[in-house]
Structure 1
Amino acid sequence: MLNVITVMLVDDHEIVRAGFRRLLDNTDDISVIAEAATGEDAYSLYQEHSPDVVVMDLSMPPGVGGLEAIKRILAVAPEANILVLTVQECEPYPSRVLQAGAKGYLTKRCAPEELIDAVRKVYHGNEYVAPSIQKELDGKKASKLNLLTKRELQVFTQLAGGSSVAQIADSMFISQKTVHVHRSNILTKLELAKTSDLIHMAIRHGIVEA
């Protein structure tokens, strides 16, 4: 009897999830059993459905981002197999995601067959990192973002995605004053003058869409 790999898709774009669901459900040994549009939903739905593999985007609406969702899921289920599928190709996102415990990292430019192969490998306990991402991890493309601490990178990502200071404070369980401190440190380290410069940098790096 064929062993079917159950998958949960996490992406804030419904049309993107629909495409990936169609691709994976058309594979004999893979079945999508849950979908989430936010990090909060991903966390709760994982506990409800216990999928074999989570295919997770990093860019989320204001609130719990992809990286934070990964950490929360792994905190309650260390055995979770999480495969990141995102537009974010530059460091330090890949290394931070893998350090957080994700089993794989793919870009949304990957071929359909590569996603299917990655799901299977992650399910069987192996890591899968796209070749282009491996080049990033090998240090061939340096980025100023490597200067940011883990907390600063979280704040950077949410600011770039349009989250307000209040929303960031709520999602990270810190004060708004602390968010402002992180924002100031981020601008200094990246040699930027204001938040709009930060957003433009994030667009250039493919971290958010224009």
Structure 2
Amino acid sequence: MISIIIVDDHAVVRSGLKLLLSEKEDMTVVGEASEGDEAIALAGQLRPDVVLMDLSMPHGKDGLTAAKELSQILPDTAVLILTMHDDDEYLFRAIQAGASGYVLKSAPHEELVTAIRTVAGGNAYLYPTATKRLMSEYMDCFQAGSNQDQYDTLTTREKEILSLAAKGYANKEIAEQLFISVKTVETHKSNVMEKLGLRSRPDLIKYAVKKGLLNYE
């Protein structure tokens, strides 16, 4: 069962989302919050699988700031941004803040449900047009700096681990898929981060998008 906290400053939006998600057999809404600080406190108590987070909450801590704090203090809880902002700046900032996904409020209900299941499973989710824009943006950057790109210095195994890690798989899951030890995965991942000059998981995701290593179905 996927446990969810809904964070939005509009009570009617929270009620509608709760009604929608409660109809799903594999989902349960365990709490609601109207702003970021309340969401962080509630998530600390309930340890949900997913925090469904609005960006614009004028009467308290905003969604981006809350998402960043949650990604640091509750790394096993996925933050899924649900917003009206179809804007590259907000999208990039959400990824940098550590969000696992980004969905528009105008999206069909089933897309939201799919996004929740995706991030709850440890994977990343972006709505299709956002993926295209990210790939375009980072492909431009890649082409401009391709001479300095260190991707070709990675071993075949390191490339496999880079792709799986960017998709959100945990070290144990990667180890099981590749039939290697968790310690070996950790060593390879550390080597990848060092070779590519990456510092965080959001950096790794953005790099993988740039290289076309993620496939969002």
* Residue aligning to 2:59: 62
Higher relative contact order (CA 8 A, sep 6+): 1
* Residue aligning to 1:100: 97
One of 104, 107, 112 as aligned partner of 1:110: 107
* Residue aligning to 1:121: 118
- Alpha-carbon separation, structure 1, partners of 2:11 and 2:90: 23
* Residue aligning to 1:91: 88
- Alpha-carbon separation, structure 1, partners of 2:105 and 2:67: 18
Q: Structure 1 residue runs of 4+, over 4 Å off?
A: none
- Alpha-carbon separation, structure 1, partners of 2:61 and 2:71: 14
Could you state the TM-score of these two structures normalised by the residue count of structure 1?
0.63
- Deviation track 1:51-84 (CA, whole Å, cap 9, x = no partner) reads 1111100010233110000111122112220110
- Alpha-carbon separation, structure 2, partners of 1:115 and 1:56: 12
CA contact (8 A) 1:58 1:84 kept: yes
* Residue aligning to 1:189: none
* Residue aligning to 1:49: 46
Task: Report 1:96-175 matches (<5 A).
Answer: 96-139=93-136
- Alpha-carbon separation, structure 2, partners of 1:8 and 1:29: 14
| Range with greater deviation from structure 2 (129-138 or 15-24) | 129-138
CA contact (8 A) 2:54 2:63 kept: yes
SS of residue in 2 equivalent to 1:138: helix
Structure 1 counterpart of 2:110, which letter? E
CA contact (8 A) 1:57 1:85 kept: yes
Structure 2 counterpart of 1:57, which letter? D
- Alpha-carbon separation, structure 2, partners of 1:10 and 1:70: 11
CA contact (8 A) 2:14 2:32 kept: yes
* Residue aligning to 1:73: 70
Q: Structure 2: which 5+ residue stretches go unaligned?
A: 138-217
CA contact (8 A) 2:34 2:57 kept: yes
Q: Structure 1: which 5+ residue stretches go unaligned?
A: 141-210
One of 3, 7, 13 as aligned partner of 1:6: 3
TM superposition shift of 1:138 = 3.4
- Deviation track 1:3-60 (CA, whole Å, cap 9, x = no partner) reads x100000000000111111110000000000000011101100001111111100010
